[in-house]
Chains A and B, each alone.
Chain A
Amino acid sequence: KQEVTQIPAALSVPEGENLVLNCSFTDSAIYNLQWFRQDPGKGLTSLLLIQSSQREQTSGRLNASLDKSSGRSTLYIAASQPGDSATYLCAVRPMETSGSRLTFGEGTQLTVNP
Chain B
Amino acid sequence: GAGVSQTPSNKVTEKGKYVELRCDPISGHTALYWYRQSLGQGPEFLIYFQGTGAADDSGLPNDRFFAVRPEGSVSTLKIQRTERGDSAVYLCASSLMFGDTQYFGPGTRLTVL
Contacts and interface: CB of A to CB of B under 8 A. Distances in A.
Interface of A: 4, 31-32, 34, 36, 42-46, 49, 89, 91, 93, 98-107
Given A43-B91, A102-B35, A104-B43, 7 more contacts: A36-B104, A43-B107, A91-B42, A93-B99, A100-B33, A101-B33, A102-B102
* 10 closest residue pairs by CB, A with B: A104-B42, A101-B45, A44-B104, A43-B104, A100-B48, A43-B106, A106-B42, A104-B43, A49-B101, A43-B107
Contacts of A106: 40-42
Given A31-B99, A100-B56, A101-B56, A107 B106 contact: no
Contacts of A45: 104
18 contacts: A34-B101, A36-B104, A42-B107, A43-B4, A43-B106, A91-B42, A93-B99, A100-B31, A100-B33, A100-B50, A100-B56, A101-B56, A101-B58, A101-B59, A102-B35, A102-B45, A102-B102, A105-B42
Nearest to B3: A43
Interface string B77-100: 000000000000001010000110
Interface residues of B, number: 28
Contacts, number: 61
